[in-house]
Amino acid sequence: MKHWNILTFWVAGMLLLLASGCNQRPSSPAPKPPPAAPLEVHVAGAGLQIAAGSENRSLEPLIQQFAKLNGVKLEVSYMGSVEIGRELAKGKQCPFDAVWPAASLWIDMFDEARVTRNSESIMRTPVVFGVKTSIARNLGWIGSDVKVMDILKAAEARKFRFAMTSASQSNSGASAYLGFLSAFANSPEVLLPEHLQRNEVRTLTKKFLGQVNRSVGSSGFLKDVLLEKYDLLDAMVNYESMVIEANQTLVAQGREPLYAIYPVDGLTIADSPLAFVAKGDVAKEATFKQLQQFLLSRDVQRQIQAQGRRTGLVGLGSDSSDARVFNPDWGIDLNKILAPIRMPAGPVIREALDLYQVAFRKPSCTIFVLDFSGSMRGTGEQQLKEAMRILLTPSLAARYLLQPSP
């Protein structure tokens, strides 16, 4: 299969010229959560603009329930983690009042002006390798410890075809990629710059990424691609919650579900922090705090868990979990002890993501379709040319982790 470059989709999204968000296709309908018990909350009516990861789209009904209960307007824009980070990097010029990326690392990396505060983890979900159950069984992976090298060897042997998100655009891809690097560096306490320079680490990482059959820009879209291209793809690297959502759809359609593999030497967990972007608006901050309180309340946390997210202090184990959601037949075990890697420092993550773009990822076929029709005259044409200038100038593209490989 052709490996379509995320640049093509990014141009469309940046210019807002093409059909809305090529890599932000609406997720498949998720089960509607039961109504939450109303909280005794009364805010001043200040609305919020929230930038959230695409994997949170199925939680939109809860957000709008809070808005209705409290008479406020909440608008959520779904985007990739790097895109959220780039907006956050604008500091007080950030157009959003709150950010809800998949993991804290994107706030740590991009919030150089330290404009965020009151950050709280709303839920957690591990990044797993979801593969069709029959294939997992044939490989002897059911109920077994599986290492990243085992996945690489099976992929090289053409045992399955898999997809993952771009490590330079989406948290699930970035987290999995950092896990691969750690595993190939023999699981150090924390990944350091010298590990990235080792020939064995570079060779194995390039081999692994060379097996990717399809790369996309967001985790929610990846789930949709797997469902749409089910006959062409056998597995995906994605969040446990996205595997659960995919399996609910597959089972309803009478198709074989995926089996979740938790790499014992390269596991990562997304902590889904919701943080306020402080720009001096007291009313908005009051609304934010009430929203955060609502999402962390016992009843709403129970509803979030019912949608396949882990809740609680450490996100592990729950006597109230629904086996129809956290289904052991899908390889999902909330009582299994998970040992995620320790995330490296920001500069190491940035170096790793640059290497992904220019040295490790599979070469891609990139096609630009540029609109110079009459409606584009003036501002539209100027924006189009500016976008192409950024994309075709490596030093500028690097700011967005969109630099081309040689």
| DSSP code per residue over 317-341 | --TT--TTTS-GGGT--TTS---PP
Query: Do residues 39 and 293 touch, judged by C-beta distance below 8 A?
Result: yes
Inform me whether the pLDDT recorded for 237 exceeds 70: yes
Mean pLDDT score, 370-378: 94
| Domain covering 31-124+271-307 in this structure, CATH number | 3.40.190.10
| Domain covering 125-269+339-360 in this structure, CATH number | 3.40.190.10
Which backbone phi and psi does 233 adopt, to 5 degrees? -130, 140
pLDDT at 26: 38
d(CA 346, CA 353): 11
Mean pLDDT score, 364-393: 93
pLDDT at 42: 40
d(CA 264, CA 80): 26
279-291 tens-digit pLDDT: 999 999 999 999 9
Domain ranges of the chain: 31-124+271-307, 125-269+339-360
Say if residue 355 is exposed, middle or buried (CB neighbours under 10 Å; 0-12, 13-18, 19+). buried
CA 166, 169, 175, 181 torsion-angle sign: positive
Fold matches, 31-124+271-307 and 125-269+339-360: yes
pLDDT at 208: 97
Inform me whether the pLDDT recorded for 397 exceeds 70: yes
With bands split at pLDDT 50, 70 and 90, how would you rate the model's confidence at 22? very low
CB count within 10 Å of CB 252 equals 9
Q: Which two tokens stand for residue 70?
A: 């409290």
With bands split at pLDDT 50, 70 and 90, how would you rate the model's confidence at 293? very high
pLDDT at 356: 96
pLDDT at 401: 84
**In 3-state terms, what secondary structure has residue 362?**
coil
Mean pLDDT score, 38-44: 40
Which backbone phi and psi does 193 adopt, to 5 degrees? -55, -35
d(CA 90, CA 274): 18
142-189 tens-digit pLDDT: 999 999 999 999 999 999 999 999 998 889 999 999 999 999 999 999
Show Cβ contacts of residue 62 under 8 Å, excluding neighbours closer than 6 positions.
Answer: 33, 36, 295, 300, 303, 304
Mean pLDDT score, 23-31: 40
With bands split at pLDDT 50, 70 and 90, how would you rate the model's confidence at 74? very high
304-330 tens-digit pLDDT: 999 899 987 544 455 567 888 999 999
In DSSP terms, 269 is beta-bridged to 126
Inform me whether the pLDDT recorded for 41 exceeds 70: no
CA atoms within 13 A on the CB side of 373: 5
**In 3-state terms, what secondary structure has residue 254?**
coil
- What does pTM read for this prediction? 0.81
pLDDT at 45: 57
Mean pLDDT score, 32-61: 69
Place of tokens 């090529």: 22
d(CA 281, CA 276): 11
